[in-house]
Amino acid sequence: MQCFKRCVLTLLALGVATAVAAAVLAYNIAGWLRADDPPERADAIVILGDDPIRALTGADLYHARYAQRVLLAKPYRSPRRLLAEREGVTVPWFEDAARAILIRKGVPASAIETYGKDVKSTAAEANALRQPFPSGSPTLLVVTSPYHVARARIVLRGALPHARVLVVASRYETFPDRWWTDREAAPQVVLECAKFVYYFLGGRF
């Protein structure tokens, strides 16, 4: 009987400790997810898909002369979007919208390039980045959304071991510390956590 009580108390203590640790992690996770790198001179500014608002930060970095080459991913073409196009409803693809923003912000068209084709994930974007840099050890200044910084850094550095990868958070997107109170941030954090688990278990799209 004593052994049973000790086991129950031990399990309860472990449960409480796990809950406290999870609560502390959840409370502080926004700061960890968005902790980016100080920008430095690079061979290229890379804007990950597929939110074109990220291009605003890319334009700022270009004008600050961190790099004179801006690369845009070409994300996966969703069948639903393609169906809408066939019905005459056109929504700009990421690279088209991002290019328009860059040019509007004064980045010359000659400085803008695309990479990859139908990339479905951060891992696919990382693999596609080998094409513009087949040799050498380039420095890449990567722009993404605040919630995506930590995972982008891990994935890109793992896939591009010979490159120096610096990840910068988009300055035009909000990502509050109290993420669970924000309608946009809350699902982003939950999804990022799921994607982290999937990635570390070896999953790749």
- Residue 13 domain-assigned (yes or no): no
CATH number for the domain spanning 134: value is 3.40.50.620
Six-digit token pair at 118? Answer: 């139908």
As a residue count, the chain comes to: 205
- Residue 15 domain-assigned (yes or no): no
| Closest CA relative to residue 62, chosen from 34, 42, 38 | 42
- Residue 46 domain-assigned (yes or no): yes
Q: What is the pTM of this model?
A: 0.84
- Residue 12's pLDDT is 54
What whole-number distance in Å separates Cα of residue 112 and Cα of residue 73? 11
Residue 25 scores a pLDDT above 90: no
- Residue 26 domain-assigned (yes or no): no
Residue 68 scores a pLDDT above 60: yes
- Per-residue pLDDT tens digits for 138-158: 999 999 999 999 999 999 999
- Residue 7 domain-assigned (yes or no): no
- Residue 32: CB partners within 8 Å, gap ≥ 6? 150
Better-scored residue on pLDDT, 4 or 183: 183
- Residue 64 domain-assigned (yes or no): yes
Residue 162: domain span: 36-200
- Residues of the chain with pLDDT > 70, as a percent, come to 86
- Report CA Rg, the chain: 21
What separation in angstroms does the CA of 154 have from each of 22, 77, 138, 149, 183? 22, 25, 17, 9, 26
Question: Residue 78 — very low, low, confident or very high, per pLDDT cuts 50/70/90?
Answer: confident
Q: For the chain, what is the domain count?
A: 1
- Residue 2 domain-assigned (yes or no): no
- Residue 112's pLDDT is 98
- Per-residue pLDDT tens digits for 94-138: 999 999 999 999 999 999 999 999 999 999 999 999 988 877 899
- Residue 125 domain-assigned (yes or no): yes
> What's the average model confidence in pLDDT over 30-42?
95
